[in-house]
Every structure is written in structure tokens, then in C-alpha cells.
Amino acid sequence: MIITLTPNPSLDRTIELSGPLARGEVQRAGSSHEEPGGKGVNIVRALEASGILSLAILPGDDMDPVLVALRADGVPHLGMPIGATIRSNVAITEPDGTTTKVNVPGPVLTPAQQAALIELVLEKAEGASWLVLAGSLPPGVPVDFYARITRELRTRFGTSAPKVAVDSSGAPLAAAVTAGPDLIKPNAEELAELTGIPDPDSLEGNPELVARAAQRLVAGGVGAVLATLGSKGAVLVTADGAWLAQTPPMVAVSTVGAGDSSLAGYLLSTSAGEPAPDSLRQAAAHGAAAASLPGSTVPALNQTKPGDVTVTTLVTHPKEDVQ
């Protein structure tokens, strides 16, 4: 069982344009899709599509449009009532795959609601293989929320605690790293911010630099770093090594949720006992498959092509300066 927590879920609307985005102009959309979203929700959708037992936990009332949509889609979930409407986000995709996202803050969670949500997660996490802490934090939630959950989980369950994966950004991710999660999944910009690299663009097309930055995090107590680099592939770094995965060139239909699918691919592979390079291969295959689908549609395992992914071992020198 893989559990995910999405403390700031959303109703995601993707608008597909038939031409480039024209700022300040009136445009007609070619099509639109509306789906329940949030990183943890998307991960469960991808896992369930591949037959992996999973559960999405999120704050939200039973009749909120997001929970109604999850029930209609058959996505296993558990909501915690908060007496407020879940936010709605908008993504605009252009024909070349360029995606513009507009995310709103979400409803405030009171300290009592935060404590109740943590207790719900701990209750359901018993016996799980992974707990994924995913996405941004809603207003009112302190930046160390994920770190607090990680520590309380390990205090309660000890050596039988589920492994913890974190997919977030900014201050919440930086705080989560201090608790030593088993896996984090940053993109290039998030990895640069986390490791103090002033120019995120310097990581694009430079997997060795990505690996060296990630090795610093692993040396500091993070179990593994899965860095997704969009069309440039993905890098996985553990205490045992570093690898680069690359997929054949493709024209992306929508990159919405591609990173979430990559993490789902990694989790389902590593949960099956596959070695790190093969889990990276499946992560890249899942991300590529998601990018080839419209909106925030997630791929099933049989829609991915891990055989098309090239995985190479990276030789790095972790003591080199990565600034």
C-alpha cells in the first residue's frame, strides 16, 4: 500500500489552445479538461491505473467537487472535512507543449485541522510501504509540516515506519530535508534553490552537475534524490551511485502532472524490488507517457515504454564546487 497526503488539493482545469498564447487578447480554446488534482492525488491516479494499491488523503468535505470527482473516477481517497471549498487551478497548454499554470492559495487550515490531518495520516500509514507528502502547503500551515509528519511517523512506528517521499518546493521542501526523507523529487529549479545554486539554467543539460548537487543532499541524510529535468531526462542519486535516464525525442502534448507520473513510476518499480537504475528507467518512461497525453491524464503501466529509455551511470566528484 502506498499512501499519499495532499494538504492543498485542487480542481485542475486544463485549457488547450489551438495556437500560441496571446497575452491581452481574446482566444478560443480548442478543448478543456477538468479533473481532481494535486500532486498526491495525481500519484494515486497513476498508481491505481497500474493496479497498485494506494490511497490519497486530503482535506475536503464529502460533497466538495474534488471529492465528488474522485468518487466518480474511482480514485481511492479519504477526505477530512474542513468546512471550506477546495481551490481551483488553471493550466493553459499551447500546441508546442508549453504550459502556463495559475495556482491559487487554497483554504486556510487551522492548527486543530492540521493536527487532525496528521493523526489521520499516521492512522492510515500503519503497514504502508511508502508515504508520499506532496505539493504546496495551504495558508496557515507552517513550513515544517512535512518534517513534523516524518518525525512523528518514525517516532510512532520506529523501524516499521513506511518510507517517506517528499515532492514539494521552496521552504516546505527545505524543511522536509532536515528530517531525512527516504526520497525527494525536485525539478531543476527546485534542486537549484535547495542546494544554493544561483542559476537553475546551469543544471539544464548538465546531468553531472545535477548529480553532484543531489549527492550533497544524500550526504546530508536524504535517502535518494530523483531529479526530473523535463525533456532532458531524469537523474537518480543514492548512496550507491548516480544514473541518468533519457527518453527519445518527442513532442509533448501537456506536461501537467508529468512529474507526478514520474514519481509514481519510480514508486511502483522500487516497490516491486527493482534495482535503482530500473526504477529510474520506469520513472522516465512514466513521465514521457504522461507528457504525450492531454491535460493531466496519467498513464497506466502498459502505456509506458521503459525499453525506449536509455540509462547511463554518471561518474561524479561530489567534493567539487557546484555553485
Whole-angstrom CA distances from 56 to 47, 120, 124, 139, 313 are 11, 12, 10, 20, 34
> Mean pLDDT, consecutive 10-residue segments, the chain of 323 residues?
96 89 88 86 93 96 94 94 93 87 91 97 96 95 98 97 97 97 95 89 86 95 94 92 90 74 95 95 92 75 89 73 50
> For 285-323, b where at least 16 C-beta lie within 10 A, e where not — what string?
bbbbbbbbbebbbbbebebbbbeebebeebebeeeeebe
What is the model's pLDDT at position 67?
Answer: 95
What is the model's pLDDT at position 86?
Answer: 94
Rounded CA-CA distance 297/308 in Å is 21
Rounded CA-CA distance 65/72 in Å is 10
pTM score, two decimals?
0.89
C-alpha cell at 243: 544514473
Residue 197: alpha-carbon gap to chain centroid:
21
CATH 3.10.20.600 fits 2-313, yes or no: no
Per-residue pLDDT tens over the stretch 130-144? 999 999 999 989 999
**Phi, psi angle pair for 163, to nearest 5°:** -70, 150
- How many C-beta atoms lie closer than 10 Å to residue 82's C-beta? 20
Rounded CA-CA distance 78/76 in Å is 7
Task: Give me the count of residues in the chain.
Answer: 323
> For 104-136, b where at least 16 C-beta lie within 10 A, e where not — what string?
eebbebeeebbebbbebbbebbeebebbbbbbb
Per-residue pLDDT tens over the stretch 275-307? 999 999 999 999 988 887 766 678 878 888 889
What is the model's pLDDT at position 292?
Answer: 78
Rounded CA-CA distance 33/14 in Å is 5
Closest CA to 207 of 228, 182, 181, 185: 228
C-alpha cell at 27: 482566444
Rounded CA-CA distance 214/314 in Å is 12
**Phi, psi angle pair for 101, to nearest 5°:** -110, 140
C-alpha cell at 250: 518527442
Domain map of the chain by residue range? 2-313
